[in-house]
């Protein structure tokens, strides 16, 4: 990290290699969709140029992901694309494993529909906390929110989600 | 439904989300690296705005060279916030662009400029009072000597202002001294790459596309640009009191 901060491109390359996968997942899940790869590339270029704003000693991952998520949001806005559309489950190749025990297919679809219908900020905080499995502190850094509001926004988003799921059990589930 | 279940379900959903396969990390490293060394030469029309947003004076000299040479240069350059980065040479530096369309705040004179900046503004006795003095955001004082074709910039080195220079050939960089302090002499046309506070690089063609002497005096970094020889530049530099 110290070498990277001194402008060493070889050292930065090591960071790029290490964080490409997580950055790509964050980009894809925050609305970049098929452009996730471009978003990641752009984010790494911007991150290098912004290194001066990186405080030595702070964790690199959330700092980087903030740039990735912002870049994905900018792209989404410029394309008037709804971020929620980026969230899809892998229907053709379902993951085998304990996840399937936790979540049946029907329940999974209902949950996904409910998440997609959430307001942007709710969906964003849930994406960070559950889909990217970031801590509250990391989420706060990625979204640029105070730690307290990550907690309260998560609670509110979960409450909304529960309401929607409750409604869906008594009504026709509509795809929109 | 207890929260704990929804927690688990959301995590499980996350693992089943369809995320397209990520790019090959090595390929990404290569792409990012290429972009970072390419230094797109798009002159920024908002130079002044970026200049205003600049923070410590660091002069980054882009040198194509072996890592060993580069490391040695980095060590030598640890003054005045100067940084050396490895990169590809710029094939065609834009030579001598006319200076137009950039209206810095013009100060009435050296005294007026001094009143607007926090560092001591000095005049080279060899050149005398400049024809024109401008101040950029209270951080940079720029003297222009029209007849002599010389420009002298004084930067507040305590700020986070970043200047980068692209030098096509490392052989064009020479080490010298001004008042016993290490100085850098660049004798080819070059491009200036400004890094604003947000870390964005903005490429600007060299103002005079001429020889440049860069050195530090106290907390101030000084750059002299013009059609002068190294010897003459050092004489001028040492006449700054």
- Report domain extents, chain A: 1-85, 95-176
Q: Which CATH class, in words, describes the domain spanning A95-176?
A: mainly alpha
Q: Compute the distance between CA of residue B130 and CA of residue B145 in angstroms, rounded to an integer.
A: 5
Q: Compute the distance between CA of residue A175 and CA of residue A160 in angstroms, rounded to an integer.
A: 18
User: For the ranges A57-71, A147-161, B21-35, which has the lowest average pLDDT?
Assistant: B21-35
Three-state DSSP at B105 gives strand
Query: Which pLDDT score is estimated for B219?
Result: 65
Alpha helix positions (H), chain B? 3-16, 25-38, 47-53, 67-76, 110-114, 230-238
Rounded to an integer, the average pLDDT of A23-46 is: 88
Higher pLDDT, A112 or B209: A112
Tell me the β-bridge partners of A126. Answer: none
pLDDT 10s digits, A94-111? 445 555 566 778 888 888
User: For the ranges A30-39, A118-127, A160-169, B220-229, which has the lowest average pLDDT?
Assistant: A160-169
Question: CA A32: distance to chain centroid?
Answer: 10
Q: What is the dihedral of CA B199, B203, B204, B209, to 10 degrees?
A: 120
All residues of chain B having their beta carbon less than 8 Å from the beta carbon of residue A18 are: 25
Residue B31 and residue A41: Cβ atoms within 8 Å? yes
- Secondary structure, 3-state, chain A: CHHHHCCCHHHHHHHHHHHHHHHHHHHHHHHHHHHHHHHHHHHHHHHHHCHHHCCCCCCHHHHHHHHHHHHHHHHHHHCCCCHHHHCCECCCCCCCCHHHHHCCHHHHHHHHHHHHCCCHHHHHHHHHHHHCCCCHHHHHHHHCCCHHHHHHHHHHHHHHHHHHHHHHHHCCCCCC
Q: Which residue from A13, A29, A103 is facing B12, i.e. has the nearest CB?
A: A103
- Nearest Cα of chain B lies from the Cα of A50 at a distance, in angstroms, of 4
Cβ pair B81, B59 in contact under 8 A: yes
Q: Compute the distance between CA of residue B70 and CA of residue B192 in angstroms, rounded to an integer.
A: 19
Query: Which pLDDT score is estimated for A142?
Result: 93
Distances (CA, A) of B126 to A87, B188, B227: 68, 24, 15
- CA-nearest residue to B77 within chain A is A6
For the cut 80, the answer to whether the pLDDT of residue A121 exceeds it is yes
Q: What is the dihedral of CA A171, A175, B2, B4, to 10 degrees?
A: 170
What are the tokens at B70? 């580069």
Query: Which pLDDT score is estimated for A93?
Result: 45
Residue carrying structure tokens 């229907």:
A91
Please give the mean pLDDT across all residues of chain A.
81
- Sign of the Cα torsion A36, B41, B86, B76 reads negative
Query: Which pLDDT score is estimated for B115?
Result: 84
Disruptive mutation site among B22, B85, B203 for chain A (greatest number of A CBs within 10 Å): B22
- What is the pTM assigned to this prediction? 0.48
What are the tokens at B130? 């400049």
Query: Which pLDDT score is estimated for B15?
Result: 84
The C-alpha angle A58, A62, A67, rounded to 5 degrees, equals 115
All residues of chain B having their beta carbon less than 8 Å from the beta carbon of residue A108 are: 12-13, 16
Domain A1-85, CATH: 1.10.1740.10
Query: Which pLDDT score is estimated for B93?
Result: 34
Q: What is the dihedral of CA B23, B26, B31, B32, to 10 degrees?
A: 100
241 residues of chain B, pLDDT tens digit each: 446 688 888 988 888 887 778 888 988 998 888 888 764 333 333 333 333 233 222 333 333 344 444 444 333 333 333 333 333 333 333 333 334 334 445 556 888 888 888 778 999 999 999 998 988 766 678 899 988 889 898 876 532 223 434 444 555 667 778 887 777 787 655 544 444 334 444 444 444 456 888 777 766 778 888 888 889 999 999 998 7
Cβ pair A54, A161 in contact under 8 A: no
Disruptive mutation site among A38, A43, A48, A169 for chain B (greatest number of B CBs within 10 Å): A48
Query: Which pLDDT score is estimated for A174?
Result: 45
For the cut 80, the answer to whether the pLDDT of residue A6 exceeds it is no
- Nearest Cα of chain A lies from the Cα of B179 at a distance, in angstroms, of 28
Query: Which pLDDT score is estimated for B134?
Result: 86
All residues of chain A having their beta carbon less than 8 Å from the beta carbon of residue B195 are: 49, 52
Closest of A108, A122, A109, A104 to residue A158, by C-alpha = A122
Three-state DSSP at B233 gives helix
User: How does strand B140-145 pair with strand B150-156?
Assistant: antiparallel
For the cut 80, the answer to whether the pLDDT of residue A82 exceeds it is no
Give residue A89's pLDDT band: very low, low, confident or very high (50, 70, 90): low
Q: Which residue from B3, B25, B32 is facing A158, i.e. has the nearest CB?
A: B3
Query: Which pLDDT score is estimated for B124?
Result: 93
User: For the ranges A77-81, A86-90, B114-118, B236-240, which has the lowest average pLDDT?
Assistant: A86-90
All residues of chain B having their beta carbon less than 8 Å from the beta carbon of residue A49 are: 195, 199-201
Residue A161 and residue B6: Cβ atoms within 8 Å? yes
Disruptive mutation site among A10, A43, A103 for chain B (greatest number of B CBs within 10 Å): A103
- Nearest Cα of chain B lies from the Cα of A44 at a distance, in angstroms, of 7
Residue A17 and residue B195: Cβ atoms within 8 Å? no
């Amino acid at each position: 990290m110290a070498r990277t901060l001194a402008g060493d491109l070889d050292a930065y390359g090591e960071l790029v290699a290490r964080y490409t996968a997580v950055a790509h997942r964050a980009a894809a899940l925050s609305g970049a969709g098929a452009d996730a790869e471009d978003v990641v590339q752009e984010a790494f270029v911007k991150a290098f140029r912004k290194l001066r704003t990186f405080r030595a000693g702070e964790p690199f991952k959330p700092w980087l992901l903030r740039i990735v998520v912002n870049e994905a949001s900018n792209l989404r806005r410029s394309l008037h694309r709804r971020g929620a559309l980026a969230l899809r489950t892998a229907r053709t190749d379902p993951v085998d494993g304990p996840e399937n025990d936790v979540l049946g297919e029907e329940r999974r679809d209902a949950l996904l529909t409910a998440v997609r219908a959430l307001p942007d900020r709710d969906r964003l905080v849930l994406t960070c906390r559950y889909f990217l499995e970031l801590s509250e502190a990391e989420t706060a850094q990625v979204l640029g929110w105070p730690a307290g509001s990550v907690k309260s926004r998560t609670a509110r988003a979960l409450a909304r989600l529960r309401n929607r799921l409750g409604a869906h059990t008594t009504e026709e589930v509509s795809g929109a | 439904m207890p929260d704990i279940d929804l927690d688990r379900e959301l995590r499980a959903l996350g693992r089943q989300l369809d995320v397209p396969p990520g790019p090959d990390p090595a390929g990404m490293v290569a792409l990012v690296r290429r972009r970072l060394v390419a230094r797109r030469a798009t002159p920024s029309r908002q130079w002044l705005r970026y200049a205003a947003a600049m923070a410590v004076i660091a002069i980054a000299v882009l040198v194509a060279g072996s890592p060993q040479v580069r490391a040695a240069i980095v060590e030598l350059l640890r003054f005045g916030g100067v940084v050396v980065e490895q990169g590809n040479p710029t094939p065609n530096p834009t030579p001598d662009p006319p200076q137009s369309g950039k209206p810095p705040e013009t100060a009435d004179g050296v005294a007026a400029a001094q009143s607007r900046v926090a560092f001591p503004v000095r005049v080279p006795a060899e050149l005398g009072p400049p024809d024109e003095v401008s101040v950029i955001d209270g951080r940079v004082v720029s003297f222009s000597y029209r007849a002599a074709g010389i420009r002298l910039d004084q930067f507040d080195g305590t700020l986070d202002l970043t200047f980068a220079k692209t030098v096509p050939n490392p052989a064009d960089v020479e080490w010298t001294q001004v008042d016993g302090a290490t100085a850098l002499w660049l004798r080819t046309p070059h491009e200036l790459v400004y890094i604003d506070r947000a870390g964005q690089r903005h490429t600007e063609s060299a103002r005079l596309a001429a020889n440049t002497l860069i050195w530090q005096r106290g907390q101030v970094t000084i750059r002299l640009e013009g059609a002068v020889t190294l010897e003459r530049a050092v004489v001028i530099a040492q006449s700054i009191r």
